[in-house]
Amino acid sequence: MGQSEKEPIPPPDPRLPPGQRGQRGWPALYYGSVPRFNRLTWDLQVFGATASAEKHTWTFEEFGALPRATVHGDLHCVTKFSVLGNEWTGVPAAALLELAPPAPGVTHVMVWAEYGYSANLPLDVFADGSTLLATHRDGEVLTAEHGFPVRLVVPRLYAWKGPKWVRAVEYMRADRRGFWEERGYHNLADPWREQRYSHQEEPGDGPLR
């Protein structure tokens, strides 16, 4: 009786960071409940250390008229699944920086969302061409569960650095931990270095806890 041939094992997808697996579909994960949206009261703010020392505000209609771009970026969840090949459309974070410039000495931003949720980012990561205040995925308007009307997309970092239901961006002259970073997640969140948890941090990776 001949030996049966085994199916060859396909090589790992080079788009997957260490420890990640490809995910079919797009699970909707979030902390708390889905906020209600009111276009009459919704706005997006930029505040903190702005160059003008003033707060900048856009209504829902004004935000919709800002420059738009489309980027292709994978979404890597810290729970170890990745949704690959996404097409995101929205307002580039770099465009927001041009419209509301930061003051000299700004090194980080805090992105604020509904219910006080927040995520901190180095200014250069926020300014990266792939960072987007997304309104659409694969040509479709985001659902409420996935962050409508606006979610931040930061393809180069774990997905918790891209909060849903974004409402404001704060310019900061020093780093400060966001919501999940205060609860044990890594301050930098690079999926290619598997920076998942704060106990993995090295000196200089973030502010003292």
Q: Name the residue type at position 79.
A: T
* pLDDT reported for residue 208: 80
* pLDDT reported for residue 4: 52
More confident residue, 99 or 2: 99
Classify each residue of 53-64 as buried b or exposed e, where b means 16 or more C-beta atoms within 10 Å of its C-beta: eeebebebeebe
Show the tokens assigned to 39: 């276009």
Please state, in angstroms and rounded to a whole number, the distance separating the CA atoms of residues 201 and 209.
11
Please state, in angstroms and rounded to a whole number, the distance separating the CA atoms of residues 21 and 107.
33
**pLDDT tens track for 30-87:** 777 899 999 999 999 999 999 999 999 999 999 999 999 999 999 999 999 999 999 9
Contact 174, 207 (CB under 8 A): yes
Q: Residue 142's closest CA among 107, 189, 90?
A: 90
* pLDDT reported for residue 33: 85
CA torsion sign for 178, 66, 74, 115 is positive
* pLDDT reported for residue 25: 81
Torsion of CA 186, 187, 192, 193, to 10 degrees: -70
Residue carrying structure tokens 């729970």: 79
Q: Residue 71's closest CA among 61, 56, 60, 86?
A: 86
**pLDDT tens track for 146-197:** 999 999 999 999 999 999 999 999 999 999 999 999 999 999 999 999 999 9
* pLDDT reported for residue 120: 98
Task: Tell me, yes or no, if the pTM score tops 0.95.
Answer: no
